[in-house]
Amino acid sequence: MNLIKTLTWSAVFAAAVSLGATAYAQQPNGGKATPDQSASQDRNREPEPASITGELTRVMPDQKAFSVKSASGAEMLFRYDDKTVITGAESNAAGLATSSGSQVTVSYKNDSAGNLATRVEVHPKR
């Protein structure tokens, strides 16, 4: 009689473990993201915007780039494109070239090609 009880409970335990393992196996990758899914999510995420305030030192319109020297003396190079919002300068990007020496605040994001300015605010000269 004890042998029958032991065998019955063993069969019930084995069935429960089997059902639990089957349910777990049906979840894609055990409910965890694969490296491909994680990389895809990282690529879709926009980089955090940063900003710097300093003196506009050089503008290179043919390269769609400019540089800004911060108060600490560090000079940073930025690219701009058609989506870059430029305020305080005449005719937007064209006016940026005539604003050398002005104080600017640049909001930018760092991508694979370097610093891309998303917004440039040219402060009036004092």
pLDDT in the model for residue 90: 76
Q: What pLDDT tens digit does each residue of the chain (126 aa) get? A: 666 666 566 665 666 556 555 655 565 655 565 555 555 555 566 656 799 999 999 999 999 999 999 989 999 999 999 999 999 877 678 888 888 899 999 999 998 889 999 999 999 876
pLDDT in the model for residue 115: 94
pLDDT in the model for residue 42: 57
The CATH number for 64's domain is: 2.40.50.320
**Are residues 37 and 57 both part of a single domain?**
no
**Are residues 56 and 117 both part of a single domain?**
yes
Specify the amino acid at residue 19: L
**Are residues 63 and 112 both part of a single domain?**
yes
pLDDT in the model for residue 56: 94
pLDDT in the model for residue 8: 66
**Are residues 25 and 56 both part of a single domain?**
no
* Residue 53 CB coordination number (10 Å): 13
**Are residues 77 and 105 both part of a single domain?**
yes
How far is residue 79's CA from residue 64's CA, in Å, rounded to a whole number? Answer: 6
Number of domains in the chain: 2
**Are residues 78 and 102 both part of a single domain?**
yes
Beta strands in 1-126 (DSSP E): 50-60, 65-70, 75-79, 85-87, 103-111, 114-122
- Give the alpha-carbon dihedral of 76, 113, 61, 93, to 10 degrees: -80
**Are residues 16 and 60 both part of a single domain?**
no
pLDDT in the model for residue 70: 92
Domain enclosing residue 112, as ranges: 50-122
pLDDT in the model for residue 13: 60
**Are residues 59 and 16 both part of a single domain?**
no
Give the dihedral sign, CA 72/75/79/85. Answer: positive
**Are residues 32 and 63 both part of a single domain?**
no
3-state secondary structure of 107: strand
**Are residues 11 and 60 both part of a single domain?**
no
pLDDT in the model for residue 5: 62
**Are residues 117 and 60 both part of a single domain?**
yes
Contact 68, 83 (CB under 8 A): no
Contact 105, 46 (CB under 8 A): no
